[in-house]
Structure 1
Amino acid sequence: MPIEAVIFDIGRVLIDWQPEAFYDRHLGPERRCALFAEVDLHGMNLSVDLGADLGEAVEALADRHPGWADAIRMWQSHWLDMASPEIPGSAQILRAVKARGVPVFALTNFGVPTYDIARAAYPFFDLFDRAYVSGRLGVIKPDPAIYEIVEQDSGIAPDRLIFTDDRPENIAAAAARGWQTHLFDGAGGWAARLMAEGVLDQTEVAIHA
């Protein structure tokens, strides 16, 4: 069946997402390990991905852990530093698919305010024909409900969607619904898969591999 839409995850597919590496640079590995052991920063971020306000979530966590308050507040003040840089080659693939006239969607676990920050920093976000953002939808991958939203909203049959994500559980959930899937491990592999599906041609793959 021909592919009718190409769907990208964003974090660790189009842009990097490495909070631990950021805190290693600013606190040192030992203090970073202590911070992440004592403070559930990822749990706080998950609440933002589900629609919580970033500032309110950060301040609530800082209030609960006053000894780490300054470090916790960096999650907001330095968020873009954690979501950088662009993954080499991935945005070029997005542009190439878009230039072919194939719809491109985002399906991402992302907070509403953080998505807006990233969109301002990375112009290729504006290439998406549709962006399915968990913070707007109130549901996150790999919950089957978020994949169902994509199917119903787009009107495209599952087997005509191809989706890349760096997390195996997110890929497995999409595959269980009949989507075509690709576990992202670099732009070269993703480009080669799109070539195999007839979405890109050999010249375009050679550029991005």
Structure 2
Amino acid sequence: MTEIRHIVFDIGKVLIHYDPNLPFSRIIPDEAERADFFARICTHDWNLEQDRGRSWDEAEALLVADFPDREHHIRAFRKHWAEMVPHAYDDSVAIMTGLIDAGRDVTMLTNFAADTFAEAKMMYPFLTLPRGVTVSGEIGLLKPDIAIYERHAQDFGLEPSATVFIDDSYANVEGARAAGWQAVHFTGAEKLKADLQALGVSL
């Protein structure tokens, strides 16, 4: 196995918590109605297009045209986005900052809208500590497309076989492996420590 020289972190649900139900449990208190809203209106796939680079104005306009009676709820998604990312995972952040302090080459690769990522950096300054980041919304590519891993490796001078990627989404882990990277599926900080140590990355 190739020695790991590059460590790449996902952000959402690895370094910071994300849950759109947090503000919407107040905005749409009824659990069944809220579940229906996320299933039919502000869906995962709709939100993912902002991660690909679509503007929030366009995204909101598309839904308001189809669901004019839900305009207030649709616009609340972006308006209350900061409430969806209420805290960092301190144990995961400690692993990342420890690797940086030890001189390891650490970067980040994330599916994130460009404007909300700028907001996240203000909320969580540790996101500025790695050598750099590839933000899907800034380049129009999404994980798990192989192209985004190739773009990240090219932009940051990474050797794919010497790179390990950490992501909570197994599909994104598989995408990294398809691009020739090593990758681990994140389920918690303790398992991440064990996975990295198994790859020869001391903590």
TM-score by length of 1: 0.89
Report matched runs for 1:36-185 at 5 Å: 36-185=38-187
Q: Unmatched 5+ residue regions in structure 2?
A: none
Amino acid at match of 2:98: A
Separation in 1, partners of 2:45, 2:116: 16
Offset at residue 21 of structure 1 (A): 4.5
Deviations 1:36-92 (A, max 9, x none): 233143233111111112244224423431221111111111101112221241111
- Partner SS for 1:118: helix
**Could you tell me how far 1:152 is from its partner in structure 2?**
1.6
* Structure 2 counterpart of 1:136, one-letter code: E
Equivalent in 189, 200, 203 of residue 202 of structure 2:
200
RMSD (Å) for aligned C-alpha atoms:
1.7
Distance 1:93 1:106 in 2: 14
Comparing 140-149 with 186-195, which one deviates more in the overlay? 186-195
1:93-116 CA distances to partner (integer Å, 9 max, x unpaired)? 111010011111111111100110
How far residue 138 of structure 1 moved from its aligned partner, in angstroms, is 0.6
Q: Distance in 2 between matches of 1:121 and 1:68?
A: 29
Aligned residues: 201
Identity of matched residues, %: 36
How far apart in 2 are the matches of 1:34 and 1:173? 30
Distance 2:89 2:76 in 1: 23
Q: Is the 8 A contact 1:111 1:133 kept in 2?
A: yes
Q: 2-side partners of 1:119 and 1:59: how far apart?
A: 27
TM-score (norm 2): 0.91
Query: CA offsets per residue over residues 170-195 of structure 1, 9 Å max, x none?
Result: 11111122211110000111122222
The Cα of 1:25 is off from its aligned counterpart by: 4.1
- Determine if contact 1:159/1:179 at 8 Å carries over to the other structure: yes
1:89 aligns to what SS in structure 2? Answer: helix
The residue type paired with residue 7 of structure 2 is: V
* Residue 30 (structure 1) aligns with: 32
The residue identity in structure 1 corresponding to 2:49 is S
Counterpart Cα distance in 2 of 1:21 and 1:184: 22
Q: In the alignment, is the contact (CA less than 8 A) between 2:4 and 2:164 conserved in 1?
A: yes
1:5-20 mapped onto 2 (5 Å cutoff)? 5-20=6-21
